[in-house]
Structure 1
């Protein structure tokens, strides 16, 4: 493994890259050809380029791109696509280049990559390689978050066409449709010798600073060696709606020391009945589940001013 400085220098000097774009994401299909042209204009030699437009092809395309031996694997899509790339590239001598083409782009926001495509490509040219943490949920690495409860049911139910048309509004619209018949879950969280219990419709465990395109707190990031667990609302459905709105409006002003956040390196979640779990927007199992941290597991091309430990 090269140092991150050596890898970054190789990216800048040789510009050997591969490209994978989720053409089923909100903007992927529309921007694929333009992204290829812009990368070439920026001096990158594309060893391979893969537009993914069929279900089940993403992981195979990512693996094929990585096997070409690029210094930089440029991935375009949303958080689910980025999460799949992060799992593949963990502890490998390849940097992940981000093209935010999804609905909320939480991971790109966390590491400071601009959402504008031209600015994101400029980051691939002029940025630096940083190390970031990955979470581990039930043995599955994740880049951004784990959701337990209603959010997993929303991921299952949100129509793809609605996501393409309305963007991130598709998730609250689907949640509102499911909420009237959703029952709260009694969740027990054990961490650092302490036990907390929440009767809630939703619990999140975040590895990063953003959720649903909004800041979680002012001081959470992808390289702080911490996971952040927090419920959204209590047993009443109106509490979930109230806290969702409050989180969106005030996240940038809160800190990890505020209630109800639990910042830790590892935790165990049990529920009074099996609850579905989504990992980076992909439904993956159910409770009980252990969630931990893999420090400095992933190398990412980020803006030059992005903090890096």
Structure 2
């Protein structure tokens, strides 16, 4: 593995890059040609470009892209696309460049990558290489979150057309529609600090500062060597409704007090066993061990990003 400085110099000198864009995402189809032309105009040596029409193509395309031996792999799409790219690049000597073309863009926000294509392309040109953390839930690596509860239903059922028209607000609105049928569950969280129990409709385990497009707390970062665990609301439906709308629509930060739990390794058990929402897709069920993978991914971040 090269040092961060060596990899950064190689990217700026040789610009050996592969572009992978989910053209089925909210803005991917419209912006793919623009992004490709801009990268070429900025001097990037595009070894290959891959427009992805179907999500099931992505793993195979990422393997083919990595086999080309780039120094930089640019992934354009939503959180699901970025998370899949992060899984493939974990522990590799290739930097991930993020083009946030989705709805919430949580991982990009954690890297201080602007949500607009012009700003994000600027990070690819003038950004710095940083090492950041990933998480792992069971056998599945994730970039942003592993959640239990209502979000597993929302992620599967939020209408694509609604996401295109109103963006990240589609998630709380879909949650409101599903909430009437959702039942609270009891969760036991075991970590080095002991055991905690909570009854809730939603338990979030987050890597980084953002969830649902909004900051969860002031001091969380994507390289703080911690996963942040908290219930969103309590066992009553109105508590979850209030917390979800406040976080996703009003954009208010959670209180300045520490999150519910900050740890690097935990076991989540629920009664009853429930599906696990890993970066927007269902992967496995509880009980599940969730752990931190420190410095597992190399990324191109905004120069303002504090790399600890």
Fold-level match, TM-score > 0.5?
Answer: yes
Q: Would you say the 8 A contact 2:214–2:251 is kept in 1?
A: no
Match of 1:177 in 2: 177
Of residues 170-179 and 71-80 in structure 1, the stretch that sits farther from structure 2 once superposed is 170-179
Q: Does 1:161 align with 2:161?
A: yes
Q: Would you say the 8 A contact 1:21–1:76 is kept in 2?
A: yes
Match of 2:15 in 1: 15
Give the secondary structure class of the aligned counterpart of 1:57. helix
Residue 162 of structure 1 and its aligned partner are, at CA, apart by 2.4
Match of 1:134 in 2: 134
Separation (CA, whole Å) in 2 of partners of 1:188 and 1:293: 19
Residue 250 of structure 1 and its aligned partner are, at CA, apart by 6.8
Find runs of 4+ consecutive structure 1 residues off by over 3 angstroms.
Answer: 245-255
Match of 1:192 in 2: 192
Q: Would you say the 8 A contact 2:247–2:254 is kept in 1?
A: no
Match of 1:289 in 2: 288
Q: Does 1:204 align with 2:204?
A: yes
Of residues 158-167 and 272-281 in structure 1, the stretch that sits farther from structure 2 once superposed is 158-167
Give the secondary structure class of the aligned counterpart of 2:180. helix
Cα RMSD (Å): 1.3
Separation (CA, whole Å) in 2 of partners of 1:10 and 1:132: 19
Q: Would you say the 8 A contact 2:17–2:72 is kept in 1?
A: yes
TM-score for the superposition, normalised by structure 1: 0.96
Separation (CA, whole Å) in 1 of partners of 2:253 and 2:230: 15
Q: Would you say the 8 A contact 1:271–1:288 is kept in 2?
A: yes
1:28-67 equivalences in 2 (<5 Å): 28-67=28-67
Q: Would you say the 8 A contact 2:209–2:219 is kept in 1?
A: yes
Once the two structures are superposed, residues 231-287 of structure 1 have per-residue CA deviations (whole angstroms, 9 ceiling, x without a partner) of: 0111110000112234445754634x43x5200111111011011111111111111
Q: Does 1:302 align with 2:287?
A: no
Structure 1: stretches of 5+ with no match in the other structure: none
Q: Would you say the 8 A contact 2:172–2:244 is kept in 1?
A: no
Once the two structures are superposed, residues 210-234 of structure 1 have per-residue CA deviations (whole angstroms, 9 ceiling, x without a partner) of: 0111001010010000000000111
Residue 122 of structure 1 and its aligned partner are, at CA, apart by 1.3
Give the secondary structure class of the aligned counterpart of 1:198. strand
Match of 2:265 in 1: 266
Match of 1:73 in 2: 73
Separation (CA, whole Å) in 2 of partners of 1:15 and 1:193: 45
Give the secondary structure class of the aligned counterpart of 2:113. coil
Structure 2: stretches of 5+ with no match in the other structure: none
Q: Does 1:230 align with 2:220?
A: no
Q: Would you say the 8 A contact 2:226–2:264 is kept in 1?
A: yes
1:119-130 equivalences in 2 (<5 Å): 119-130=119-130
Q: Would you say the 8 A contact 1:217–1:251 is kept in 2?
A: no
Residue 73 of structure 1 and its aligned partner are, at CA, apart by 0.2
Q: Would you say the 8 A contact 1:218–1:251 is kept in 2?
A: no
Separation (CA, whole Å) in 1 of partners of 2:212 and 2:218: 15
Residue 65 of structure 1 and its aligned partner are, at CA, apart by 1.1
Of residues 115-124 and 204-213 in structure 1, the stretch that sits farther from structure 2 once superposed is 115-124
Q: Would you say the 8 A contact 2:216–2:254 is kept in 1?
A: no
Residue 164 of structure 1 and its aligned partner are, at CA, apart by 2.2
Q: Would you say the 8 A contact 1:133–1:297 is kept in 2?
A: yes
Distance 1:275 1:51, change over 3 A: same
